[in-house]
Amino acid sequence: MDCRHTFEEECDISAKRKAIIKIQNVVATATLGQDLNLEAIVRIFPGVQYRPEVFPGLVFRLKKPKTATLLFRTGKMVCTGSKSERQAKEVVLTVVDELKRNGIVISGKPDTKIQNIVASVVLGGFIDLEKTTYSLERTMYEPEQFPGLIYRMDEPKVVILIFSSGKLVCTGAKKEEEVHRAVTKLQETLEEKELIRYTQQ
C-alpha cells in the first residue's frame, strides 16, 4: 500500500531514521587583491572559455575535482562544483598555482570565502506538506506550480525545499555544519508535530 494514503496503518512515527546528507555543490568566492590579464591567460591556457562580448569572466575548468572557476579582471574568482568547504578552498589554490607556474604573476594569497552550500537530503519517510505549511512559519506551498514546499529557516539561515517523499534540498548555508544543524532541527520539528511518517522496515 502507498504510505501516503494510509499514514496511520502502514507507517510508524516513532521509528526515527538517520538523515542521509550529501553535499552537491559549494560556491566559493576569492579575491587576489590585484588585476588579472585575462588575454594572457587565454594565450597560455587555450582550453579556457573566454567570450568577453557575452560574459566578462573567464572560465577555468579542472577535471579533478570537476569544478569551474570564473576569473575576472579585478582579480575576483568564483569557484563552483566542489563537494566540500575544504575542496573549494583547495581548488582556488590549485587554480592560482597553475596560473603562477605558467608565468602569470600573482603576488598574494587568495582570500577565499564560502558563499553557498547546496545539499540533498533523504529523511526516509513521507511528509504531509499540507499540514507542514500550517505548522511551520515562513513557508510557501503552491503544488500546482511546484511540487515542493519552500521553507525559510531563520537559524541557521537557510532555505529548504521539502518534498512529500521525505527528500529535501538545503541551500544558503555558509558552512557544512549549518546544513547538518538545519536538517536535524527540521527533522526534530517534523517528528514532534507528527508531520513525518516513517515506513516500517
Whether residue 98 is contained in a domain is answered as yes
Residues 35 and 108 in one domain: yes
| pTM of this structure | 0.87
Q: Which helix (H) or strand (E) holds 185?
A: helix 176-192
- Phi, psi for residue 107 in degrees, rounded to 5: -85, -45
Q: Are residues 31 and 100 in the same domain?
A: yes
Q: Is 1 inside any structural domain?
A: no
Residue 179 domain flag: yes
Q: Which three cell numbers stand for residue 84?
A: 566540500
Q: 85 with 138, same domain? A: no
pLDDT at residue 105, rounded to an integer? 93
- Domain contains 174: yes
As a whole number of angstroms, the distance between CA 23 and CA 138 comes to 24
Residues 110 and 140 grouped into a single domain: no
* Position 2 in a domain: no
User: What are phi and psi for residue 130, nearest 5 degrees?
Assistant: -60, -50
Residue that terminates a domain, selected from 79, 114, 149:
114
Mean pLDDT for back-to-back runs of 10 residues, the chain (201 residues): 38 64 98 96 95 96 96 98 97 97 93 98 95 96 96 97 97 98 97 90 49
Using the 3D structure, point to which of 59, 79, 114 is the last residue of a domain. 114
Statement to judge: residues 110 and 59 lie in one domain:
yes
DSSP H or E segment with residue 27: strand 20-31
**Could you give the number of structural domains in the chain?**
2
pLDDT on residue 195: 97
Same domain membership, residue 195 and residue 131: yes
- 67 and 145 together in one domain: no
pLDDT score of 199: 74
Residues 31 and 109 occupy one common structural domain: yes
Shared domain for 147 and 70, answered yes or no, is no
Parent domain of 148: 7-19+123-199
CATH number at residue 75: 3.30.310.10
